[in-house]
Amino acid sequence: MNILNTYYSQGWCQFPADPMLQGWIDASLPAIRASITAPENAHWLRYQGTWFAGVNALPNDERGAIPGGPTLSGLAVDFIHNRLNYKDLPWDRAQVSACYPGYPQPMSGETEAMHAFRRDRDAAHLDGLLKEGPERRRYLREYHGFLLGIPVTTFSAGASPFVIWEGSHKIVQAWLHKTLTGVDPTKWRDIDLTDSYQGLRREIFRSCRRVTIAPQPGEAFVMHRHCLHGMAQWESDATAGPDGRVILYFRPPVVDLKGWLTNS
Ligand SMILES: [Fe+2]
């Protein structure tokens, strides 16, 4: 099966070790480390210090370059440009996700049910469907083209790997079509999706295979924007280098919302 077919059938694909990407990582590592320790990013350290969530914490530009560094490039970027046809999409600032032994510890403000969902169900979610207000109702607030995952440290397979429910993008797309077709895209953000989303998630847990992926530096993966995904707990025998398990996520936003809904 070619890689594009793999991406569309399972909802993600992985790329082998790549000297171009490794060169970008080597040049960017000082800025990646600095983003984790910067005082202005301290609020991203959560779950009693076991996860630095680091959303948009990397100071890269629209070429994916750290100031003075190389343009983001390599096999995964070629795939995004040439096979997914996102040639002109500017890179967003990357999320710097650094995880440490013991994740997830309970966090203040979290109920036991919320903690259990994070620990036992990998905090499974769809990107862009955000919880709001004291009632934690869910609305579509962000629209990403895809997710590009770039590990930058070595870690063992049990060190809070990325989790994907394979094929879930097809179930999510059917649900989105049913929910949003005929509604003007400017109104999508007003639809309370909380209840039907919970049913959707249960259906995915029942019917899709849960896979964990733990690529190493130089490798990368691309996930379909509609996949249910999350992050596993840190197994007691898992190991990582002194920086912890650090993965960067690029999720550039798109402006064509109908395309976000209907493109394959
Ligand atoms: Fe996510």
Token pair in block for residue 65: 């370059």
Whole-number Å distance, alpha carbon 178 to ligand 1 midpoint, is: 23
Of 12, 183, 30, whose CA–CA distance to 84 is shortest?
Answer: 12
Whole-number Å distance, alpha carbon 127 to ligand 1 midpoint, is: 5
* Angstrom distance (rounded) from CA 29 to CA 37: 13
Residue range 30-86, pLDDT digits in tens: 999 999 999 999 999 999 999 999 999 999 999 999 999 999 999 999 999 999 999
pLDDT at 1 over 80: no
Whole-number Å distance, alpha carbon 229 to ligand 1 midpoint, is: 6
Residue 45 near residue 105 (C-beta atoms within 8 A):
no
* Angstrom distance (rounded) from CA 219 to CA 211: 17
Whole-number Å distance, alpha carbon 247 to ligand 1 midpoint, is: 12
HSE-up of 189 (CA within 13 Å, CB side)? 7
Residue range 172-228, pLDDT digits in tens: 999 999 999 999 999 999 999 999 999 999 999 999 999 999 999 999 999 999 999
Which residues, chain by chain, have CB under 5 Å from ion ligand 1? Answer: 127
Ramachandran assignment for 237, one of left (phi > 0), alpha (psi -120 to 50 degrees), beta (any other) = alpha
Residue range 126-167, pLDDT digits in tens: 999 999 988 899 999 999 999 999 999 999 999 999 999 999
Please state the domain extents for the chain.
3-129+143-167+210-254
* Angstrom distance (rounded) from CA 133 to CA 130: 10
Whole-number Å distance, alpha carbon 131 to ligand 1 midpoint, is: 13
Domain made up of 3-129+143-167+210-254: CATH architecture: Sandwich (2.60)
Whole-number Å distance, alpha carbon 246 to ligand 1 midpoint, is: 15
Q: How far out from the chain centre does Cα 140 lie?
A: 16
Whole-number Å distance, alpha carbon 118 to ligand 1 midpoint, is: 13
